Amino acid sequence: MIHHLSFPAIDPMHVAQVLAEIWGGKVVPFPPHPGSYMVLTLDEYGTMIEIYPIGTEMVPGIDAGEVLFSFNAFASPHTATHAAISVPTSQKTIEQIAAREGWRCVRCDREGFFEVIEFWVENRMLIELLPPTLAPKYLSFMQPGNLEQVFAAPPQPITVGSFA
């Protein structure tokens, strides 16, 4: 189970507020890194998302020290990091929020296995949202027996430069 994740945003407070609206959560400051915020669901699992200012990087601490935060002025605005999150909000409400923010939002079929709503935070960070109408099919697909059938063949290596 994933309890929390983090990603950067151009406007961390605003992104946290929008995600809290969709998730039915609460926004609080993230004290270890000023200018960062946490979106809390206040559920029994401690589920949250940390939103840092864009350019923030986490680097290993020195010796036995904790993680350190640094800033990279040349960081790409895009990332390969994404998350699939079940939310209590309807597809219609998600689409209305995305339209209000001017953010890309599209319902997508993942090869017939399940559907998600691609919600592009600030039009650069992907969160796959699973409203109550889509979550059951995703959860069914992700059951161990189903995954073992779908992924029975061993993975094939991809050579560098072979991406379309």
Per-residue confidence (pLDDT) for residue 153, from 0 to 100: 75
Please check whether residues 15 and 59 belong to one and the same domain: yes
Asked whether residue 98 is assigned to any structural domain, the reply reads yes
Asked whether residue 37 is assigned to any structural domain, the reply reads yes
Per-residue confidence (pLDDT) for residue 49, from 0 to 100: 96
Q: Show the tokens assigned to 43.
A: 């559920």
Please check whether residues 88 and 116 belong to one and the same domain: yes
Asked whether residue 164 is assigned to any structural domain, the reply reads no
Q: Which CATH number fits the domain that encloses residue 39? A: 3.30.720
Per-residue confidence (pLDDT) for residue 80, from 0 to 100: 82
CA distance 138 to 150: 14
The Cα-based distances of 159 to 81, 151, 154, 155, 156 in angstroms read 21, 20, 16, 13, 10
Please check whether residues 1 and 66 belong to one and the same domain: yes
pTM to 2 decimal places: 0.85
Q: Of the residues 43, 76, 109, which one is the last residue of a structural domain?
A: 76
Per-residue confidence (pLDDT) for residue 161, from 0 to 100: 67
Could you list the residue range(s) of the whole structural domain that residue 55 is in? 1-76
Averages of pLDDT over runs of 10 residues in the chain (164 residues) are 89 98 96 94 93 93 90 88 94 98 96 95 95 96 88 77 58
Per-residue confidence (pLDDT) for residue 157, from 0 to 100: 80
Sheet holding 105-110, edge to edge: 83-86, 125-130, 114-121, 105-110
Per-residue confidence (pLDDT) for residue 107, from 0 to 100: 97
Asked whether residue 38 is assigned to any structural domain, the reply reads yes
Q: Coil, strand, or helix at residue 54?
A: coil
Please check whether residues 26 and 49 belong to one and the same domain: yes
Q: Of the residues 19, 42, 76, which one is the last residue of a structural domain?
A: 76
Per-residue confidence (pLDDT) for residue 86, from 0 to 100: 94
DSSP state of 155: P
Please check whether residues 20 and 44 belong to one and the same domain: yes
Residues in the chain: 164
Asked whether residue 31 is assigned to any structural domain, the reply reads yes
Domain count across the chain: 2
Q: Of the residues 21, 48, 76, which one is the last residue of a structural domain?
A: 76
Please check whether residues 98 and 53 belong to one and the same domain: no
Cα 93 to chain centroid, rounded:
18
Per-residue confidence (pLDDT) for residue 89, from 0 to 100: 96
